[in-house]
Structure 1
């Protein structure tokens, strides 16, 4: 029968393709398998290895690499292979629970329709189509081995119904939602009974190692021991080894402990970065830079006034303390930081928060939300103008809706077309907005709050990203970048992160880098190293005054990561400062000044006269001859001590040796210009007399230079228009003439970012810029054998402590 079906299919022209079989019995149709990228195929093999061991794991690929597709393909492979489950009386896929943010529910449903349309998938959320009793839906899906997609809030809401059933697989999308080990949602999810647990996240560790412990306590309970033991033997040594004042022993211990931790979690963690798989997915290049913007004068006054306010003084202990508990102190500190961030974004947000009402009808520059009140908005205005001319499309992110409203007003005034999505946008209409922006190129800007839309949102219609204000959590800013730089993007992407120089925002960025480096040390390379100083409250509540000689603190910390254009500008400024050193002052006698004025008048007349009676050279020679004769007579009257004193003064001045050539510029007939020419040429002819230079030869050279210059001027006056005519006359063989651009990178239509940065540095208040990717790549330090050996012993003790805590936990 099978042979008849095969011959029938071949006769109808259908190609028979064998299945792809993995070790252990898992298989997939070859056509299905070949649709996956190579790294995604490796991901399915890794998921299958975890399944065979009946253990959990963390799929930590960077955002935008298709973690959802890998999970669905793996579930499809389980069902297609008819894998028998030892945990239930079913073959293939069993009842599966997928937990994700509400904003990406419909993306999961869409991917299931594309990759596994035969699966029965139900949505446990108000946006789903099921209108009956939710408990009946949960029971029905579990009984028929279906797939239930819910949200994290849905787990809390229907916790009792979910705990009534056994689940074959539980999969957490954006699993960092359970990074707080004591949160209600974390405790509820860890109570669900299932033999297979998978966690998906593009940022496994966002703030500290305690979060990493919580994630693995879900996927692999007990693997990292008890939390207190883990913090003592792993977290603390790694943190201490990262500070600038760490000893070589602390640094070596941090390296050894981090290496041990990475080796422990590596079998259960799969993480690929876009840089690693870029050649497979053909992802375009990305340029990510951090721009340090100056505060406006208005902002600076508000910022300094608030730093000196009673509220901040009480936090820093400079005033009367108004609270007794630590919680109240922490709340007031966060309130002060929030207000400073509002001033950095736009001063009107701060003033409105303080009680001032905006004047809606005011059309002056004092109106609410006027962009020139904020230094960062001035930079945004410049970027949008340049990118509009270059036909780029922009994603503009901000943390809060208040700033989004100001941007709406600004974009409307400047006639930009835009779309907006924030927390108030209905979930059902968000995907429509995304599709509209990606498909309709008439929209210039998409305004978004940084956390809206989830991490799975695809906005590849844009190739420029502005992150207006930073977040304490580096993953929040990273997710904004990933919405444009992901699979499907075919244009190079440029990201600018804006920070107000010298303010709380700079401290926030430094904290971001610290967290990212800590994450890289555990997840990627334990040798990653950057030294950081420990900060205090006074660092947070301070302001660096602007100065041309002082760069922002962060650009000095990461000086090796500054953008090349900034290095060139700094070198140019340094050279200019050297060149602009004022020369030694030359003092002329009153008699000399009068003679120079007379000579200048004669020069001016000779320049304007058509037929001068006497050339300027002849007059100057005569004047110099008389002057020299007069000096010789005066020297004869001086005594020997007076002659020695005069020689010393001449040696100190060295005025005559500073002029070695004539600067052959065009000269106007004004008195001041004529006087300048007279002084220059007077000094020249004094040299001629003293050094006995051939005057005739020098004169011929100067006249030849003047003649060549005149010919050059006449040549430059020739006009060649685009029609191929010269001065209105047709020239044979000349088809078209175009203006040659000497520097393509400095033209407004160029895609080169150097042009934009040059503009921002020169006139738009940007005082520094860093290459973000370069900043987060730490250096590697080598230690001697004795220190390395001692550090390895400490790492072994840490592992033994974890093993003991596992036993104690199981006994308990």
Structure 2
């Protein structure tokens, strides 16, 4: 069955059962409320006649541009043109680093040259404006005055938007902030295309930016994101509601119930009927979105992508960190949190625990911190219990990994969510006489590309420090082939975006990624939630990747509902239970020589292969307690572990203390 047949067969009617979505109905049964009328209506449009004419069967690209495109990028442009010919919106969701910006720029340029498009509004994050200007010029052949970035005060932007009313061909670039402020003005005039880059920013239907995006009047809508599903399946509803409300059709409240079914089905302690219900709902969603979503991964395009080695480096806490972390977890602060229902209290505790995992100084007040960073090798005013700049296993292991990369002739990107952590890491780099540069939220957008260029060109600059939130989007740093993530993000896609600054089209060397996570802490719980979210994201996009044509994709379920929620409970701090479980699932994923080399680094107690997380589920995973087969695997060291359906991971023979009966794994798996 082709995409056109799917389009008609699997668009949902705007109704669902209390237990989730109904089976798809034919297009004849759709109600008008499902249809994005701003896409369909051309009433009062001065260019309605042009839209009514049948477009040519193929889109002609500029020969000079076409020869620079990869084959898969040409296929992406052709796919967008087919969606255009059908009069429907679409989501380009290629994995990060595969050139979505290039494809859309080439598509819009070709549409303009073929006189199929004269007006477009592109909504992008402010940091990506320079990249889009460059791409639209280089790949689309669009330049001023045809191409214009909206700037200045609201009155000035309103004046520039009047070009749309007068029928002047124009391609506007605006930011999400402008969309929030000028949504009414932008929606006053019909345009040929609205393009939303980083479309996951409109996934929350409660936000003003989502409502402003929905109000835009456009004949065609294109959403672009490499992370269409970041937290849960409800993210898909927001994005596809913008693309075309008829695709999923259900109301937000109805889809929220579907989301609950899907998430529960992914938990390890879900009952068989809950898993079956989730599989059914997932299959319906995959079939509904498949015609409108194009997603290719780097693994599918090995000819244009370098290999990637993605490792979890499990660390023990430094003694100073351990004392502070234990005090925060078990002290009076925890009791206060338990007695206080205010949402801010547990959040403050959680923040303090996460900061301690990085460095105790991250918990200092601003004045004390400023004084301490001036004398980083001395104890701050709070006393010796706060340590000095070196009182962090993250600093020690991170520097060791940077030195390892330099010895392999690799330039390195070092990411952290905390600017203070970058301060401390920078001080340590200077102590090691390692030259570095830095990009964070205080770096002007126009300076960021220049810093990356200097980092790429200067042979003496080995390290680029970046905040994950800022450095993770809009930058290309393929001169580096090493990445160190000092701390995990709540959302795995944010870390993936950071990694893909290096692992992308144009990279000529194999890439190595080191993710630093402390054992038994909130970071280990965050990583477990990353696995859960990654599995949901893979399931949600499997249909668009051409996986699971015959139904939903099943992956191994790692965690129970209880384990995913007890986020601040202190665990075993001298080893990682998650690492043991991953090693039992994938005993040969890390070579012994590689493991031994990394275990020799300070504070490193285990190593896991992050690239082996999304393993397909086996019959054993799906069986109930009665009559299941037992699957055994042999992790390193000869400790034989069993999987018994939904039951816990249990040791059979114990040759190492880490696989003992007292390891507590039954509480988590």
Band of TM-score, shorter chain: 0.7 to 0.9
After superposition, the C-alpha distances for 1:88-131 in whole angstroms (9 at most, x for unaligned) are xxxx21210001011111111111221233551000135xxx99
Offset at 1:565? 8.3
Q: Give the match's secondary structure for 2:514.
A: strand
Q: In the alignment, which residue of structure 1 is the partner of 2:315?
A: 293
Mapping 1:240-319, distance limit 5 Å: 240-279=264-303, 281=304, 283-316=305-338
Residues 1:534 and 2:561 aligned together: yes
- RMSD in angstroms over aligned alpha carbons? 2.5
Q: Give the match's secondary structure for 1:337.
A: helix
Mapping 1:369-768, distance limit 5 Å: 370-453=388-471, 455-524=473-542, 525=548, 526-531=552-557, 532-535=559-562, 539-547=566-574, 551-560=575-584, 564=588, 568=592, 754=594, 757-768=595-606
Q: 1:369 to 1:301 in 2, by over 3 A?
A: closer
1:229 to 247, 254, 258: 254
Offset at 1:59? 0.4
Q: In the alignment, which residue of structure 2 is the partner of 1:770?
A: 608
Distance 1:121 1:369 in 2: 54
CA contact under 8 A between 1:63 and 1:456: conserved in structure 2? Answer: no
2:73 to 36, 40, 48: 40
Residues 1:172 and 2:196 aligned together: yes
Instruction: Please identify, of 430-439 and 207-216, the stretch whose mean Cα deviation from structure 2 is larger.
Output: 430-439
User: Is the helix fraction higher in 1 or 2?
Assistant: 1
Offset at 1:424? 0.5
Offset at 1:156? 1.8
Mapping 1:8-23, distance limit 5 Å: none
Q: Give the match's secondary structure for 1:181.
A: coil
Q: 1:362 to 1:23 in 2, by over 3 A?
A: closer
Q: Give the match's secondary structure for 2:235.
A: helix
Q: Give the match's secondary structure for 1:214.
A: helix
Q: In the alignment, which residue of structure 1 is the partner of 2:650?
A: none
CA contact under 8 A between 1:395 and 1:445: conserved in structure 2? Answer: yes
Distance 2:493 2:86 in 1: 31
Distance 1:540 1:396 in 2: 26
1:81 to 114, 119, 128: 114
Residues 1:53 and 2:86 aligned together: yes
Residues 1:123 and 2:141 aligned together: no
Q: Give the match's secondary structure for 1:287.
A: strand
Offset at 1:369? 7.7
Instruction: Please identify, of 391-400 and 108-117, the stretch whose mean Cα deviation from structure 2 is larger.
Output: 108-117
Distance 2:556 2:509 in 1: 33
Distance 2:403 2:58 in 1: 58
Distance 2:349 2:278 in 1: 34
Offset at 1:389? 2.5
Aligned residue pairs, count: 550
Q: 1:408 to 1:141 in 2, by over 3 A?
A: farther
Q: Give the match's secondary structure for 1:185.
A: helix
Q: In the alignment, which residue of structure 1 is the partner of 2:161?
A: 138
CA contact under 8 A between 1:379 and 1:760: conserved in structure 2? Answer: no
Q: In the alignment, which residue of structure 2 is the partner of 1:338?
A: 351
Offset at 1:363? 6.8
CA contact under 8 A between 2:202 and 2:210: conserved in structure 1? Answer: yes
Offset at 1:29? 4.0
Offset at 1:562? 5.4
Instruction: Please identify, of 352-361 and 191-200, the stretch whose mean Cα deviation from structure 2 is larger.
Output: 352-361
Distance 1:779 1:131 in 2: 54
TM value normalised by structure 2 = 0.78
Q: In the alignment, which residue of structure 2 is the partner of 1:348?
A: 361
Distance 1:38 1:567 in 2: 35
Distance 1:558 1:504 in 2: 18
CA contact under 8 A between 1:464 and 1:493: conserved in structure 2? Answer: yes
Distance 2:288 2:79 in 1: 16
